[in-house]
Amino acid sequence: MQKIIDRFVKYITVDTQSDPNNPDFPSTEKQWNLAKILVKELEDIGMEDVTLDDNCYIMATLPSNVDYEVPTIGFIAHMDTSPDYTGTNVKPQFHPNYNGEDILLNKEENIVLSPSYFEDLLLYKGQTLITTDGTTLLGADDKAGITEIVSAMEYLINNPEIKHGKIRVGFTPDEEVGKGAHMFDVEKFGAEWAYTMDGSQVGELEYENFNAAGAKVTINGKIVHPGYAKGKMINSMTIASDFIKGLPANEVPEHTEGYEGFFHLHTMNGEVEKTTLEYIIRDHDLSLFEKRKVQFQKVADDLNKNLGSNLIEVEIKDQYFNMREKIEPVMHIVDIAEEAMKQLNIKPLIKAIRGGTDGSQLSYKGLPCPNIFAGGHNFHGRYEYVPAESIQLATDVIVKIAAITAERTK
């Protein structure tokens, strides 16, 4: 356990925040710092064919230790942390034998992690929680996943009595800005299927995710002196307000759950002459997803018609699609992960991801890729935490998947 904790801390104290506004791979130079550490560590534990390509993708191989044919499987995690909150100067805090009460993250700023607000904390009474100090995110998304993969590979190398086929591991940059799979070489990776270790609560096993699009709304106004503005000024911000109110008020993230889709306004910049709104559009059902995009455009078209001018411009771009379509024909790969959890006395929580994953894009590139829990909670912010025991359990799941895959093809 302590070795796993030390490994995790080593990774999270390297700042790898990605940048959504930079088209380069990786989007930030600092992601190379962790990549170089990982390459050396993979080599040190005995992995083979360790490569780091020009776009900051790491791949490595654990050779088969059986004399019969076993499908090559893979495990994947991402190196970057979210641009939503700073990952600079992470100072992890440790809370052994958590008692179920409030955790004071930062006395000076009175930042408290409380089970009265984050009820999932109560699932981990008696365990060792790793938190932030309230001034940064933690980075368990997805450095917990990296820790689990490296630790599992090291365990398999040190315990050759556990039979397994060829295993490939991959660590990607820029997942948090939607580009983690863009330059991933599926053919080079050479696995029949893989698993991303990028979920949250212990037991999560996911093979469905949102269909996703990004939308930018540009509203063009006209600025004149406010004292002489009658009949002349066009205030783009008030038109933007009308656009926002034109979408269903309850179909937003804070009022939806499960399979319910939404429109999410995440960025707004405005002045009289020009306002921009940036949205994400999400739905698990493809037909409903397409209807949402039509509905979004119609709000702009109707407002333009009422204004008598095309002051509102809309640009919608698809981002990724629900991987369920690609996973269902090969459901045995989900069954293996589910069986691995059951053998470890972990209750599988099979549900749809209310978000995206590298696994979605990889599935559409020919590498079916369900998602497995990595153990963290409250990603992308100051209240992020992960139980050390969850990292250990996810590591055990990887080892068990490798063993079951070999057993089933013996």
Q: Which residues does the annotation mark as catalytic?
A: 80, 175
Contact between 404 and 336 (Cβ < 8 Å): yes
Q: Exposure pattern of 234-247 as b/e (b: 16+ CB <10 Å)?
A: bbbbebbeebbeeb
What end-to-end distance do the CA atoms of the chain give, in Å? 32
Count CB atoms within 10 A of the CB of residue 329. 8
The residue length of the chain stands at 410
Tell me the two tokens of residue 94. Answer: 């440790």
Cα 49 → chain centroid: 27
Task: Give the amino acid at 90.
Answer: V
User: Given its phi and psi angles, is residue 370 left (phi above 0), alpha (psi -120 to 50 degrees) or beta?
Assistant: beta
Q: Exposure pattern of 292-326 as b/e (b: 16+ CB <10 Å)?
A: bbebbeebbeebbeeeeeebbebebeebbbbbbeb
Contact between 173 and 80 (Cβ < 8 Å): yes
Comparing C-alpha atoms, which of 260, 257, 259, 217 is closest to residue 239? 217
Residues 6+ apart with CB under 8 A from 171: 35, 38, 57, 58, 76, 77, 78, 79, 146, 149
| Pairwise CA distance, residues 97 & 112, whole Å | 18
Cα 182 → chain centroid: 15
